[in-house]
Structure formats: C-alpha cells, structure tokens
Structure 1
C-alpha cells in the first residue's frame, strides 16, 4: 500500500498516481486507487479518479467524500455542513480494498498536513494508521526544496517512511533552478528520486501515457527511469 502526497496543490499527484497504477495494471496486478476527499467539484463532474481511470485503464477506484467548494476537505465540509472524514474512515476503506487487490494507492488532497476534520486529522495520520509507505510528489522549479524538506520533516516527525520522491512534471526545456534541483531534491526529501514524469504526459492517450509512465518511473514501480543517468544529464546542462 502506498500513500501519495504532494508538496502542495497542483504538483502532479494525480498524474503520478495514474502512472504508478498504469504500470502495475500492465504488469497484471490488481490495482485500487482511493481518493478520500475530492473538493471543488459537483456530484456529476469528473474528478481525479476519472482521470486515473482514463489513463490507467481497468483499476478499481473509490471516492469517500466530495465537496463542491475548492477548499481543504475540512473547510469545504464545514462551509456546507457536510460530514467530514476521519483517519479511521480512510484506513477502513483502504484496508477493505487491500483484501482484494495487489496494490492500493491512496491519493491525498493538497499536502501532507491538509486537514480532513475539525480534530486536525490529516493524511499523515492516515498514513501512520495504515503503516503505509509515503510517495512525495514535488514540483521541479524554484521553491520546491523548502516545500519538500518541510514535507519530509513532518513525515519523519510523525514516524512515517518516505519511500521516495517523484517530480510530478518535468519540462522538455528545464531552467537552471530545475536542473540544479535534480541533485538537491533527494537531499531535501531524505529519500531517493524515483521518477520524473514528463510534462504533458497526462494529456496523452492511455497507450502513450503508459510509455511515459515507464520512462518516467523507476524500476521500483516497474518502470525504466534511471535516477543516476537523469541526475548526470541535468548536471551536465547546468
């Protein structure tokens, strides 16, 4: 079981989740993706799980709560007077899926400490309750080192294990900060670089996306990404 979190909103969590799911599914594994809370969408609008299904194909998806306002799950629930989620709710759903699947991916909302309920519960509490490995998705550019280091420090303080870091969107023409960050991000995360998904990959059709996932994720996920070669190439371009 893997918990996928980000260093913030819009860093590529859904794309990375879909890429991990696509590789596992292509390898014949039974995959489930759990999205505890989806915010900013109405009941009939396609959310993150619809995107995962489009890109990854035949995977089980489950969404526990949906809130129409683009706020944190706790704030969105409070604004509308809707039920909130607890770590126990999320862990129970993930555990149930784990009984019938080979891989369960839990995709958070925003960052690791975004609140789910008025008691201050977060994705970090869920990951701890599940004893799951944490995958951190980070941006490539300026400012990402601080956000990544903060996420890793919180994870370590909470007794979580960061299995690795994935750059959620890597452009064809990275700037100097991005190239420099390739070496510094694993240091900030205290964990290995496990991938860099090409910018625009989520816009591809499923077959092309699978190839992008294979190229952009390490063998740890079933891909072909070579962190050492990637880092050497980035260093040579600085």
Structure 2
C-alpha cells in the first residue's frame, strides 16, 4: 500500500487529524511518509494549511500541497472565483506517484467528501484514486446521520471498482450517545468494510509528542496501530 487516499463523508469530520494519526503510526513503525494535500481551500498564502497541521502533529513527514485557494469552497469553485488554475485528478495522481518513488507511504488527503469537484470537468478525488489504483480510507462522523453518508461513499467506491480499505471515526466523543454507540456495529455493516479506528474528540489539541505516542492506539493494525475494533465496540456498546 504505497499510496492511501483519505477522504471524509463531509467537512469538519476529522479528516486532517486522522491523516496525521495514520502518518504518526506509520512513522512509529519505521516507515517514511509523505502527505499530499490535493487542494487546500480557505487558506491564504503564508497561512497554516492542512498539510502543515499533519506535519505539526505527526512529525517528520514530507508535506506537499498542489494548490491553494483563499475561499473556503469546493476546490473547483474556489479556483474559478480566484481566477486560478484548478487541480486536475491526473495531476494529483502524478504527484502522489512521484512521492511514492522515495517514500514508503504516501497519504493523499482530499477536500471535503469523495465527490467534491476539483475542476469544471467534474474531476474528483475518486478519479485520482482510480488513476492511482489506490485504496481509500473513509473518515466518518460518530453520531446520527453518519450511516447514510458513509454508505453513499462506500457505494460510489464500489461502483468505480476502488478498494475501500475501511472506515475511521474522526472524532469519538467522551460521552457518546446511543446513536454513536450503535454506529460502532452499523458503520462497518453499511460500508462493507472494517472499522479501522476511532480518534478521541480533541486529539488535535494534544501536544505533538503526546499525539504521536497515542496515535497507534487509535488505529487498527492495518494502519500500523494496536486498536481493537471488537474490544472497543464491546466496551462502548449500548
């Protein structure tokens, strides 16, 4: 798995902190890691972006952005409004493939969900994943409403013949409600793929050293971690 594409079921799901956790766990396992942010929106030149945040939390990663647009919109819309060239799926795939030549793992982080448009032609992160023949990790919310968006993402990946590696809950609350606890069993069922982790709410606020130490405990062995999905489900089950 030299390239892993990470998407969310929407915005503010915990995609960037999950990318950082995956990077930190891989680094702890002795792997070299690059992080590619396909399109950074809502950030002006010189400001801290998602790739920078992953590097801050995870440590020694190669952090790269392909494009940056100032308004917090879908990349295609943000590019058009800024009068800047859009990012196209083949550019994402080419950049990731190049990084994979000298890194053990390349994490490609999208913007928002799987089908958010990069350009006027309708290019998406799913198109980039298909070009790369890379698996996709879906970051989902914990609570009510997450089953629908997660299943829609999973169905789209299957329709395109793209491997869904699994699902990670981007922010697990300290006091989960009934829906969140039930979703531990329901999420892998609707996704047709395993639950591969659950990050605690507020993980990004940890000091970077603490984040790096804790990250493997939030992720399953498939992601270089030690997290046990069944034990977690039994502990949190209603």
> TM class by shorter-chain length?
over 0.9
Structure 1 segments of 4 or more deviating over 4 A? none
Partner of 1:229: 231
Q: Deviations over 1:50-70 (max 9, x none)?
A: 110110111001101000001
Q: Deviations over 1:108-160 (max 9, x none)?
A: 00000000010001000000000001100000010000000000011111111
CA RMSD of aligned residues (A): 0.8
Partner of 1:26: 28
Partner of 1:7: 9
| Cα deviation, residue 177, structure 1 | 0.7
Are residue 74 (structure 1) and residue 76 (structure 2) matched? yes
What are structure 2's unaligned runs of at least 5 residues? Answer: none
CA contact (8 A) 1:12 1:169 kept: yes
What are structure 1's unaligned runs of at least 5 residues? Answer: none
Partner of 1:122: 124
| Cα deviation, residue 94, structure 1 | 0.4
CA contact (8 A) 1:201 1:212 kept: no
Are residue 209 (structure 1) and residue 178 (structure 2) matched? no
Taking structure 2 as the reference length, the TM-score comes to: 0.97
SS in 2 for 1:167: strand
**Quick one: which of 215, 218, 221 aligns to 1:219?**
221
Taking structure 1 as the reference length, the TM-score comes to: 0.97
Aligned length: 236
Are residue 65 (structure 1) and residue 76 (structure 2) matched? no
Partner of 2:38: 36
